[in-house]
Structures are given as C-alpha cells and as structure tokens.
C-alpha cells in the first residue's frame, strides 16, 4: 500500500489523480490533500478520501476548512501555509507525491519531496523549468524517483531506453519529437489574435485543463516550457528536440533512434493515462480511460509550428540556450503576463511582448542556489508588471 500526497488536489490534474487512485483502494491510500483557497472542493475531497492531512495555503481558508471538518471528519489534521505543504511533501508516511500545483508556487514542496527521497510524479513543469539542474541534482542525491506526468514527457519516458540517463548519444537516440496540439488559435487569422479573450484562449480543442496552462497552450509557451522540461528530464539540448504540431493529440510524442526506428506512444487525450503510469510504474493499472479506436480517428496530421504566430516558442528555446536563471526569468514573466491577460489587462499578443522585454531587461545568473533563482524570479515579476503597465498606456 503506497501513501500518497496530492499537491494541488483541487485542480485538473489533482482531480484526475484522485479518480485513478480511487479505482485501486488496495494499492494506494491518500495521506494528504492540498489546495490554495478552494475550501468547498477540498472539503468534499477530504470526506471522500479521508486523508491524514489537509493543507490550505491560505490561512483563512484553512480555518474555515477546519471548522467545516469538525463534525464530518474530525480526525483530519488541517495545516496551512508553505510549512504545511512542506510537511506533507516530506512526511515519512508518504511514498509518492503528485506535484500538481500550478506555477512557481509548487517549487518548494516539489523540491521538498525530492529532498525527502519520494517518488515524485511531476506535473508542475514550472518547478523544473525554474530550477532545472538544482532539481535534477536533488532527485539524484536523495535517490528520489522522478516520473514525468506531462503527457508528452510521459510518452517520451515510455519510448526511451531505460538507461537514457547516460545521455541520448550513448543510448542510440537521435532526437525527440515533441508533439503539440497547436491550441485553440492554430488557424485563427493572425490579425485577429490581438482581440482574443481569456475564455477563447481557454477553450482548448482536445484537453480540459486549468486556466494558466490553457493560455500557455494558446500561446504555445506551454510547448516552450516543455522543450526546457524535456532537456532536463532527458539530459539533452533544445536542438535535439523538434516540436511537431499534431492537432488530434493522439500521438503524445516520439523518440527517433539512430537505426531509423521512431517509437511513439498513442492514446486518447486523457491525463489519467500518464497519471496511472506514474503511480504504477513499472507495472500497468487500469486508468478508466476510453480505449483508442484507430478507425474512429482515421487520420493523423503533422505540421511545422509557425514562429510568427507563436513567438513564445522561440523565446523559450533562447532562454534555455542562454542557460542559468534565464528559464526562471522566462517562466516568471510568463506567469505574470498570463495572469494579466486572464484579468483583461493585457492583450493576447502582448503576452510574448512582455516576456521578451523582461528577458532583455533582467540579467540572468548562474543558477547556483535556490536564492539566486528566487531573486531573479522576483525581479522578473516586477519588470513584467511594469511592462504590462507600459503596454496599456
């Protein structure tokens, strides 16, 4: 029986994780659930899954949850703040940690889980983008296990030889083909992009996801972050990763070998597949996912991404090539720009402008420590807010 902490249990990945877990009560037990402010959903999840701990980052929300749990489930310990998150990421009774908080807020508990030698199921790509080498070193030094949950990286993990940590060159891998749906604006006339609204940007054609990653999919910054994520996970560089637009989202990514073989992982676009894979690895369990019917799909399409339409893709590659804290600066600027866009203070096409300005203005450093990374993250957020105001003027 494996004890599981779900960081960000009220989000899209969190809910899917609990769905898979509840199909296998003999294998997995929920030790802790966490959320930011959504008391009602966390309350309902607590009553259903009876964890030992429930953490709400927001203190008022935590008090409210505690009050509501008093007569429904008084044995659940309610914690708050970042200390609460760290406690349940590192607790001895926890075997696996699903890292599904969105954005930089997930960095510290995800690193905590790695430091405590857990199996880390990594959905929170921003954590790896920010802290790349530090995170990978922490995993290795503490003999933690890292299972990618992002569907593309999960696909690549499935198609790679098991000794891929020796480096792609040494295991006969030529390149990674990272698929992308192209998002909701793949064919929108370029001159209309500036007027796109948050709801239009969040209407993803194939996946139902949180609002931040949905906007990232519309700008394709999501794919940019995923290029960086793949570089760290699979010990490679951006020039060995080709982004392929594949609008059906059936092939989740591919790996090309030196003998000409190309291995792919296919499946219906449903995050429960990579979640179940990460939980059960190296075994396989039922995920509740509808089986793939190739006759229903009938055809699969592939096109090259257009960098004029998707400048964020270029910005992410450049940041990774620059190295050091550049990826953390890119990520922080993106988080602010997306938030400003979701609050209708920034136009869709200005998201990339804000990020480019911040990358020009904020000097990057060697990412030698968490402090250095977090300093540049803070600075980048300040510059991104200023750039937003400038663009609105």
Which residues bind to ligand NAD, rule: CB under 6 A?
8-14, 35-36, 38, 57, 100-102, 105, 123-126, 150, 207, 209-210, 212-213, 271
Q: How far is the CB of 216 from Mg ion (least distance, A)?
A: 9
Q: How many helices (H) and strands (E) does the chain have?
A: 16, 11
Nearer to ligand NAD, 138 or 217 (CB): 217
Q: What residue is closest to ligand NAD based on CB?
A: 11
Nearer to Mg ion, 61 or 249 (CB): 249
Nearer to ligand NAD, 125 or 186 (CB): 125
- Residue 276 partner contact from Mg ion, ligand NAD, none using kind-dependent CB cut-offs of 5 to 8 Å: none
The answer to whether the CB of 352 falls within 8 A of the CB of 341 is no
- Residue 326 partner contact from ligand NAD, Mg ion, none using kind-dependent CB cut-offs of 5 to 8 Å: none
Q: How far is CA 169 from the centre of its chain?
A: 27
- 376 in contact with Mg ion (CB under 5 A): no
Which of the ranges 1-9, 12-20, 145-153, 158-166 carries the binding residues for Mg ion, by CB under 5 A?
145-153
SS3 220: coil
Cβ neighbours of residue 87 under 8 Å, at least 6 residues apart? Answer: 53, 55, 79
Q: How far is the CB of 377 from Mg ion (least distance, A)?
A: 22
Distance CA 214, CA 91 (A): 32
Q: Are strands 173-180 and 28-35 parallel, antiparallel or unpaired?
A: unpaired
Nearer to Mg ion, 124 or 326 (CB): 124
Q: Exposed, middle or buried by CB within 10 Å (0-12, 13-18, 19+), for 192?
A: exposed
Distance CA 122, CA 42 (A): 21
Nearer to ligand NAD, 120 or 357 (CB): 120
- Secondary structure element (H or E) that encloses residue 159, with its range: helix 151-159
Query: DSSP labels for 35-60?
Result: ESS-HHHHHHHHHHH--SEEEESSHH
Distance CA 21, CA 188 (A): 39
| Contact with Mg ion (CB under 5 A) among 66, 90, 91, 150 | 150
- Residue 124 partner contact from ligand NAD, Mg ion, none using kind-dependent CB cut-offs of 5 to 8 Å: ligand NAD
Alpha carbon distances (Å) from 333 to 88, 257, 356: 29, 36, 9
Nearer to Mg ion, 148 or 324 (CB): 148
Nearer to ligand NAD, 181 or 326 (CB): 181
Q: How far is the CB of 198 from ligand NAD (least distance, A)?
A: 14
Number of residues that bind Mg ion (CB under 5 A): 3
Q: How far is the CB of 126 from ligand NAD (least distance, A)?
A: 5
* Binding-site ranges for Mg ion (CB under 5 A): 150-152
């Amino acid at each position: 029986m494996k004890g599981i902490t779900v960081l960000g249990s009220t989000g899209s990945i969190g809910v899917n994780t609990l769905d898979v877990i509840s199909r296998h009560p003999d294998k997995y037990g929920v030790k802790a659930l966490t959320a930011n402010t959504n008391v009602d959903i966390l309350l309902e999840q607590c009553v259903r899954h009876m964890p030992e701990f429930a953490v709400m980052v927001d203190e008022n929300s935590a008090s409210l949850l505690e009050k509501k749990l008093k007569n429904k489930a008084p044995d659940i310990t309610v914690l708050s703040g970042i200390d609460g998150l760290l406690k349940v990421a590192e607790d001895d009774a926890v075997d696996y940690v699903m890292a599904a908080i969105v954005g930089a807020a997930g960095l510290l508990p995800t690193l905590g889980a790695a430091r405590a030698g857990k199996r880390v199921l990594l959905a929170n790509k921003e954590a790896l983008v920010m802290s790349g080498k530090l995170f990978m070193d922490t995993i290795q030094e503490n003999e933690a296990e890292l299972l990618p949950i992002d569907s593309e990286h999960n696909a690549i993990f499935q198609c790679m030889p098991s000794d891929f940590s020796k480096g792609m060159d040494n295991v006969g891998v030529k390149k990674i083909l990272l698929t992308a749906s192209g998002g909701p604006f793949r064919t929108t006339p370029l001159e209309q992009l500036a007027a796109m609204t948050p709801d239009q940007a969040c209407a993803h054609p194939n996946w139902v996801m949180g609002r931040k990653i949905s906007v990232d999919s519309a700008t394709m910054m999501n794919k940019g972050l995923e290029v960086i994520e793949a570089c760290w996970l699979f010990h490679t560089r951006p020039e060995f990763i080709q982004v392929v637009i594949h609008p059906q989202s059936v092939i989740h990514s591919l790996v090309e070998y030196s003998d000409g073989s190309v291995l792919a992982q296919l499946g219906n676009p449903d995050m429960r597949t990579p979640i179940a894979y990460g939980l059960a690895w190296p075994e396989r369990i039922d995920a509740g996912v509808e089986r793939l019917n190739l006759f229903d799909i009938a055809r699969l399409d592939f096109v090259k991404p257009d960098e004029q339409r998707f400048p964020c893709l270029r910005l992410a590659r450049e940041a990774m090539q620059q190295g050091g804290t550049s990826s953390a600066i890119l990520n922080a600027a993106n988080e602010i720009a997306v938030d400003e866009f979701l609050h209708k203070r920034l136009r869709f096409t200005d998201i990339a402008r804000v990020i480019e300005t911040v990358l020009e203005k904020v000097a990057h450093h060697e990412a030698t420590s968490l402090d250095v990374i977090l300093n540049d993250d803070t600075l980048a957020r300040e510059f991104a807010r200023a750039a937003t105001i400038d663009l609105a003027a």
